[in-house]
Copies of this chain bind each other. A is one copy, B any other.
Amino acid sequence: MSKKSLPVVDVTGPGDVGADECCSSLTSEPLGEERAVELARVFKAMGDPVRLRLLSLIASNQGGEACVCELTGVFDLSGPTISHHLKVLREAALITGERRGTWVYYRVVRERLTQVSMLLDLAPAT
């Protein structure tokens, strides 16, 4: 298969991963209703073993990027099922995808994972 030189991927995060939300934790103050709805959507997207493994496969792949062609073979699932799971991860702004030639290449949205990690990063016990 011929492969041409690939451009650098633009990994600008989605607009709804705001910097103002980056640093609050579950312990600092009770979550508001609106923020809870938004974050629950992210956790729900991660609440499936296949999606969690897809996220991990993408994050741990060389260069932090994975071609969909590298992901489908790992699971005993159909292409459309994998595509559906990747769509859920995209909609939760956990990954971004970019088509280049025949394939779509995925990357994790680091800001999103950091946001969630910090949310769960508790202050020392008092």
- Hey, which bits of chain A sit against chain B, CB under 8 A? 26-31, 33, 36-37, 39-41, 43-53, 55-57, 59-60, 63-64, 74, 108, 110, 113-114, 116-122, 125-126
Q: Give the distance to chain B from A120, nearest Cβ to Cβ, in Å.
A: 4
In the bound complex, residues from chain B placing their C-beta under 8 Å from that of A39 are: 49, 52
**What are some 7 contacts across the A-B interface (CB < 8 A)?**
A26-B55, A27-B59, A27-B60, A46-B47, A117-B117, A117-B118, A121-B121
This protein's copies in its complex: 2
The closest CB in chain B to the CB of A110 belongs to B122
A48 vs B37: C-alpha distance when bound (angstroms): 7
B110 touches A121 (CB 8 A): no
Q: Give the distance to chain B from A95, nearest Cβ to Cβ, in Å.
A: 11
Contact of A125 among B47, B52, B110 (CB under 8 A): B110
Q: With A37-B49, A49-B40 known to touch, is A117 a contact of B114 (CB < 8 Å)?
A: no
In the bound complex, residues from chain B placing their C-beta under 8 Å from that of A36 are: 49-50, 52-53, 56
